[in-house]
Structure 1
Amino acid sequence: MASQVRLRLLPGTRCLFDEPLQVTVAGLRSRQVVALRARSTDEKGAVFSSSATYRADGSGEIDLGRDPSLSGSYVGVEPMGLLRSMAADTAHKRFQKTNSLNPHVVKFSVHEVEGEGRMLVEVTNERILMADGVGRRPVKEGNIRGYLFTPPGEGPFPAVLDLYTFGGGLSEKRSSLLASRGFVVLTVALYGHDDQPRNIKEVHLDYFEGAIEFLKKQDKVGSKGVGLISLSKSGDLALSIASYLPHVDATVWINGCCANTVLPLYYKKEKIHPPLLFDAEKVIVTESGACITKDAMHSPWAEENKATLIPIERAKGRFLFVAAEADLNWDSKAYLDVMVERLKRHGKDNFESVSYPEAGHYLEPPYGPYCPSSFHGVMGKPVAWGGESRSHAAAEVHLWKKIQEFFRSHLSCDGVTQNKAKL
């Protein structure tokens, strides 16, 4: 029986991380019930897995794009459900895939439901983070530390500075995937990478000014200005960079704050914003041990905190504001609303916004495991990120396409038409 069962993955057993899969099974008995499983180990050694029960049709076939899961990690028709619903074998683990050289290796398998759950067939899917021909090189220019990713071909290509998160070190996943879609991307670490200090007490805009100048000088870059993409704490850094520094034409702000947070911000050795802090007494600890910090931040619009607010009306470029309404890290939607109102009050229309009602804090490139909670560097404890898994996954698919369209629209390359994203 096992030799007759076939598990097929399209477009193939090797594809980009952000590509959807068509998963089909053939060679089963008519109406046979089986379990489909997915299993992967991240670069920290954490094991993630999912399982869903399906009933074959009269021809002994299953198509995840057509047939509903009857039980397991998810229920209903969900073509990419096995990837989205993979959960760690221990609590508060976030799937770690930061090095772009290492593919996300997923083992898909089909198992009998009766008896001991004998495996009928297994296929390995390598979900790569860099398309063939994408260049990757470490950057150690002055005090700038990071990686530069370049698409294959001569270009010219639009340039993007990826700030990712504030957790120390850096993640290459988003940058390498953007490069695979036709952008020159520099991802930089602010601390904790290479020879950088492990902890910092202040942030200097001069660092990002140098990173922008470095990026603009790259041979394949054709855009006059650069784009910024951020998430979480780096969202307010992106706002400050766009507001105070030149050559920023397009900024993507994802679930950040409208005020400078955590650390004071300096430029040319002068402090331009004090930090907005949080009240530890307003942190809620759930039964799982994860903290809800949504209401813990001090109000940025309170009179005593107004110096932390970033004057985004100064920005010359365009903004894409993205908020997850079920974010439990902080109130991203309220911050978005404040920024939209502020720009309108100043007569500005250089922005667009999108919000996702049931998404959580960590909006990343699509088709990775959903993360309900994980360790938070600033809190020093696990934090609940919020969101409903299926809705969050759908938001990531929609947002990833929107980010690329936004950058292509506002990072002009002297009239050269860029290739569209193949999503």
Structure 2
Amino acid sequence: MVGTFPLLSVQPTRGLVDEKIQVVVRNLPPALSVTLHSLHRSEDKDLWEAFGHYTSDGQGTVTVAKDASLGGTYEGAEPMGLLWSMQPVPGSRTGLRLRKMDVLTPMVVHISVYSGHITEGFSKQSPLATVVTERWYMAPGVCRIDIREHGVRGTLFLPPGPGPFPGVLDMWGGGGGLVEYRSGLLASHGFVSMALEYLSHDKNRTSDINFKTYFEKAFRIVQEHPMVMKDRVALFGLSLGTSVTLNLAAYSKDISPRCCVCISGSHVNLVNKAIGKVFRNMKKDGYKTRFDEEGRVVCRDIFLPIPTDLGEKVDMGRIKCPLMLVVGEDDQNWATVESAKDMTQMMHAAGNEHLLTILQYPDAGHLIEPPYTPHFRASNFIMPQTRQKLIMLWGGYTKPHAVAQEDCWEKILSFLRQHLYPSPDSTPTLRQSCDVTPKEHQGLSMID
């Protein structure tokens, strides 16, 4: 390496989290063994890394998009392997999960190139070159608005531009709290999206929430916003959010979603008049939970067998709008495969199966998130009501799970555009590369 100066390029240096990066190393000696390494410090101050082993070509270049990694946290030609294969550095706390809670700041990733094929001790070695890249959930011009209205708690994200735009009510699952990053990303793609808090870590508040009125109020907050096309609002649910979505679509007389997206959930009717009953209903079947050989909790059997009694599951024949289901075949948290099969049979019998689209992914797990999010087969989980800490087995395997996340996100966006925008020509083109300074990217935060 004497006399040479490796040139490391990462493009774009600022972009959305679902935008691919191009990583290229030039000016290396031919046939040199190098390691490309990514490093991220999470908001909880934990370090995450990924790395791949490469050999430079005859021109002294490594191009991650087309050259194969020979080993590391991923193998083969994987343009985004330095992100989706991230894992906690050796010696980290157990059960970690990487999630971005402050969407007004980027995920900062240091990408470095090292001489030789190394697998550990990166902090003790000097890289040949390092580049910093920022990954954003909010595109330039997206506005973030805190919602505290009619007892509803959430965060509304508005795309840049005059609108009007389609709307999305975005609901996460049984972990509770307010999760904003998917809504920020949806707004970056031209949808007004509200991340809704409905399972609070405040036990008393959650118990007081009435299922019907709370979610219908939230839907109307989105629908009645002046930047929203009132007849083009979708429901988007993950895990327990799927149960909420299907209940609203089937039984609400006051709201009419234009379409629904459901990830890793079931039509088994967990949601009754009061949200506080959800965990009591699950606790009733708690004897069905089991532990794997490592002591991690497997919950999928709670939902089995799928009920035959229509009173114990959503009547799928009542669904009147297009519905997309996303299913990971190795989901160890919910019985999503069996549920999807039963939902298909119910809709076929009712004559509305034409409304159903199913995306089913072998060896994908429960936590199907936006693209390039690292995979977590298991992680710490705190029950919102009891505050009990568990290690939850979510399922899935790293590479196929990463494939599922990337594939389904593109199909979800296409599905939403197809059913929410009046015509393809009316879909806004938002610049995806966030080539702005952090100060320009702060968006809007205010209390309603």
Deviations 1:361-407 (A, max 9, x none): 11111012111111233474111211121111111111111111111
Matching residue's letter, 1:183: F
* Percent pairwise identity: 33
Partner of 1:315 in structure 2?
319
Deviations 1:146-194 (A, max 9, x none): 110010111121100000223121111100000000000011101327x
- Give TM-score scaled by structure 2 length: 0.86
Partner of 2:440 in structure 1?
none
Which of 106, 124, 140 lines up with 2:148 in the alignment? Answer: 140
Partner of 1:218 in structure 2?
225
| Structure 1 residues 346 and 83: alpha-carbon distance in aligned structure 2, compared to 1, 3 A threshold | same
Which of 388, 402, 405 lines up with 2:414 in the alignment? Answer: 405
Structure 1 distance, partners of 2:259, 2:197, is 20
| Structure 1 residues 201 and 330: alpha-carbon distance in aligned structure 2, compared to 1, 3 A threshold | farther
- Give TM-score scaled by structure 1 length: 0.91
Q: By percentage of residues, which structure has more strand?
A: 1
Root-mean-square deviation (Å)? 2.6
Partner of 2:436 in structure 1?
none
Secondary structure of 1:4's counterpart equals coil
Structure 1 distance, partners of 2:231, 2:174, is 27
Partner of 1:357 in structure 2?
362
Partner of 2:235 in structure 1?
228
Which of 264, 276, 279 lines up with 1:255 in the alignment? Answer: 264
| Structure 1 residues 414 and 208: alpha-carbon distance in aligned structure 2, compared to 1, 3 A threshold | farther
Which of 324, 330, 334 lines up with 2:334 in the alignment? Answer: 330
Structure 1 distance, partners of 2:424, 2:77, is 43
Q: Which runs of 5+ in 2 are unaligned?
A: 119-123, 433-448
* 2:409 maps to 1:395: no
Q: Shift of residue 320 of structure 1? A: 0.6
* 2:372 maps to 1:371: no
Q: By percentage of residues, which structure has more helix?
A: 2
Deviations 1:77-97 (A, max 9, x none): 111111111102333211021
Secondary structure of 1:119's counterpart equals coil
Structure 2 distance, partners of 1:358, 1:415, is 34
Q: Which runs of 5+ in 1 are unaligned?
A: none
Deviations 1:20-42 (A, max 9, x none): 11111112111111111111122
Partner of 2:67 in structure 1?
67
Structure 2 distance, partners of 1:21, 1:400, is 17
Which of 377, 381, 386 lines up with 2:390 in the alignment? Answer: 381
Q: Shift of residue 293 of structure 1? A: 2.4
Q: Shift of residue 110 of structure 1? A: 0.8
Q: Shift of residue 341 of structure 1? A: 0.7
CA contact (8 A) 1:225 1:247 kept: no
Structure 2 distance, partners of 1:287, 1:39, is 31
Secondary structure of 1:248's counterpart equals coil
CA contact (8 A) 1:222 1:414 kept: no
Deviations 1:276-319 (A, max 9, x none): 5564444342344322223243433155xx52201232232211
Partner of 2:198 in structure 1?
190
Secondary structure of 2:320's counterpart equals coil
| Structure 1 residues 276 and 284: alpha-carbon distance in aligned structure 2, compared to 1, 3 A threshold | closer
Matching residue's letter, 1:217: E
| Structure 1 residues 182 and 377: alpha-carbon distance in aligned structure 2, compared to 1, 3 A threshold | same
| Structure 1 residues 154 and 217: alpha-carbon distance in aligned structure 2, compared to 1, 3 A threshold | same
Partner of 2:247 in structure 1?
240
Deviations 1:195-243 (A, max 9, x none): 8846538751210100111111111112514101111111111100111
Partner of 1:286 in structure 2?
292
CA contact (8 A) 2:65 2:77 kept: yes
Partner of 2:6 in structure 1?
5
Matching residue's letter, 2:7: R
Q: Shift of residue 414 of structure 1? A: 8.2
Structure 2 distance, partners of 1:201, 1:221, is 29
Worse-superposed segment, 284-293 or 23-32: 284-293
CA contact (8 A) 1:181 1:422 kept: no
CA contact (8 A) 2:224 2:230 kept: no
| Structure 1 residues 20 and 416: alpha-carbon distance in aligned structure 2, compared to 1, 3 A threshold | closer
Worse-superposed segment, 172-181 or 105-114: 105-114
Partner of 1:149 in structure 2?
157
| Structure 1 residues 301 and 114: alpha-carbon distance in aligned structure 2, compared to 1, 3 A threshold | closer
CA contact (8 A) 2:103 2:138 kept: yes
CA contact (8 A) 2:418 2:424 kept: no
CA contact (8 A) 1:99 1:171 kept: no
Partner of 1:43 in structure 2?
43
Equivalent residue runs for 1:104-183 within 5 Å: 104-113=107-116, 117-183=125-191
Matching residue's letter, 1:102: T
CA contact (8 A) 1:175 1:186 kept: yes
Secondary structure of 1:307's counterpart equals helix
Number of residues of Structure 1 aligned to a counterpart in Structure 2 = 414
Worse-superposed segment, 125-134 or 350-359: 350-359
| Structure 1 residues 213 and 178: alpha-carbon distance in aligned structure 2, compared to 1, 3 A threshold | same
Secondary structure of 1:219's counterpart equals coil
Structure 2 distance, partners of 1:105, 1:42, is 9
Q: Shift of residue 421 of structure 1? A: 7.6
CA contact (8 A) 2:304 2:335 kept: no
Secondary structure of 2:403's counterpart equals helix
Structure 1 distance, partners of 2:100, 2:187, is 17
